[in-house]
C-alpha cells in the first residue's frame, strides 16, 4: 500500500469562464515511504499548486489524495489542520523564518507544536548549525537560513518533507549543499521528500523524477544512477 496516492487530481480556477486555468489537470501518482522525488516543470506548470495540496494548504477541485489510507480531500478543516501539523514539514524558497528569534527558537516553536517531535538541538546539529544556535536569521547566510528552515520542518518528525524551490534563492554551490542535506536527512530520518523545482540539474540527483507541464504529468521516471549533489552545478 502506497503512503501517498494522488488520484485524478484537478485544480481549476475560474472554471467554465473565459479566465479558466487548469493549474492541475487530472494528475495521478503514488509514492512510497522514504522516496526522494523531484517534480520538475517550468514556471506556471502547477508545481506549487500540487505541493500545497499534498501539504494540506490548498484543496482540489476534483479528485482525491490519500495518505496512509485516509482520504485527505474529504476531511474537515480541523482534521486538515492536525494533518498539516503532524504529517507535513514544509521548506520554502525564501526560508520564512521569524526574524526576531534565534535559529534555536525558530526550530523550538515547531517542536512545541508537534505531538511526537525530535530534539531541536540535535536536529540543528544534524543540519550543521550546532555552533549557530543563538544567531538570528539576519546573522546567518542564505544557505544557513535554509538549514534552519529544514531543521524546523524535520523537528516535527513529519511524514513528508515538502520543498518548494528550496535552492531558488541560493547560488549553485550553496544550493547543491542544501540538496545534499535534503538527501542525507531523508535517509537519516527515513522521510519521504518531494522537491518541486524548475531546475533540471536538481532532477539529476533524484531517484525519481516527475515532469509536470501545463498541469499534467508528462513523465514519471526512475533514475537508477542518480548523480551526487556535489557533481551538479548550474
Interface with ligand ADP (CB under 6 A)? 13, 21, 23, 41, 43-49
**C-alpha distance across the termini of the chain, in Å:** 37
Rounded Cα distance between 211 and 200, Å, is 10
Binding mask 5-44 for Mg ion (x = CB under 5 A): ----------------------------------------
Radius of gyration of the chain (CA): 17
Rounded Cα distance between 201 and 199, Å, is 5
3-state SS class at 69: coil
Provide the minimum distance between the beta carbon of 218 and ligand ADP in the complex, in angstroms, as a whole number.
13
Name the binder of 229 from ligand ADP, Mg ion, none, CB < 5-8 A by kind: none
Provide the minimum distance between the beta carbon of 53 and Mg ion in the complex, in angstroms, as a whole number.
13
Cell (9 digits) for 167: 535552492
Provide the minimum distance between the beta carbon of 25 and ligand ADP in the complex, in angstroms, as a whole number.
10
Nearest to 66 by CA among 146, 136, 6, 132: 6
User: Which residue's CB is nearer to ligand ADP, number 50 or number 103?
Assistant: 50
Name the binder of 69 from Mg ion, ligand ADP, none, CB < 5-8 A by kind: none
Position among 24, 48, 144, 186 found at the interface with Mg ion (CB under 5 A): 48
Cell (9 digits) for 132: 549557530
Between β-strands 62-67 and 160-164, what pairing exists: parallel, antiparallel or unpaired?
unpaired
Name the binder of 46 from ligand ADP, Mg ion, none, CB < 5-8 A by kind: ligand ADP
Binding site for Mg ion (CB under 5 A): 47-48
Amino acid at each position: 500500500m502506497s503512503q501517498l496516492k494522488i488520484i485524478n487530481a484537478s485544480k481549476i480556477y475560474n472554471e467554465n469562464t473565459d479566465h479558466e486555468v487548469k493549474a492541475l489537470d487530472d494528475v495521478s501518482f503514488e509514492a512510497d515511504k522514504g522516496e526522494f522525488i523531484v517534480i520538475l516543470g517550468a514556471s506556471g506548470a502547477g508545481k506549487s499548486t500540487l505541493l500545497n495540496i499534498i501539504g494540506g494548504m490548498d484543496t482540489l477541485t476534483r479528485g482525491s489524495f490519500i495518505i496512509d489510507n485516509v482520504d485527505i480531500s474529504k476531511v474537515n478543516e480541523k482534521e486538515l489542520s492536525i494533518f498539516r501539523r503532524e504529517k507535513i514539514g514544509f521548506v520554502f524558497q525564501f526560508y520564512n523564518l521569524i526574524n526576531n528569534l534565534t535559529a534555536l527558537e525558530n526550530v523550538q516553536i515547531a517542536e512545541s507544536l508537534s505531538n511526537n517531535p525530535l530534539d531541536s538541538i540535535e536536529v540543528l546539529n544534524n543540519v550543521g548549525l550546532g555552533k549557530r544556535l543563538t544567531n538570528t536569521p539576519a546573522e546567518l547566510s542564505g544557505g544557513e537560513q535554509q538549514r534552519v528552515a529544514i531543521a524546523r520542518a524535520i523537528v516535527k518528525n513529519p511524514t513528508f518533507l515538502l520543498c518548494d524551490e528550496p535552492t531558488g534563492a541560493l547560488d549553485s554551490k550553496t544550493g547543491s549543499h542544501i540538496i545534499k542535506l535534503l538527501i542525507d536527512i531523508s535517509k537519516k530520518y527515513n522521510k519521504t521528500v518531494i522537491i518541486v523545482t524548475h531546475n533540471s540539474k536538481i532532477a539529476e540527483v533524484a531517484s525519481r523524477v516527475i515532469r509536470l507541464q501545463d498541469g499534467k504529468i508528462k513523465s514519471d521516471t526512475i533514475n537508477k544512477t542518480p548523480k551526487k549533489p556535489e557533481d551538479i552545478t548550474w
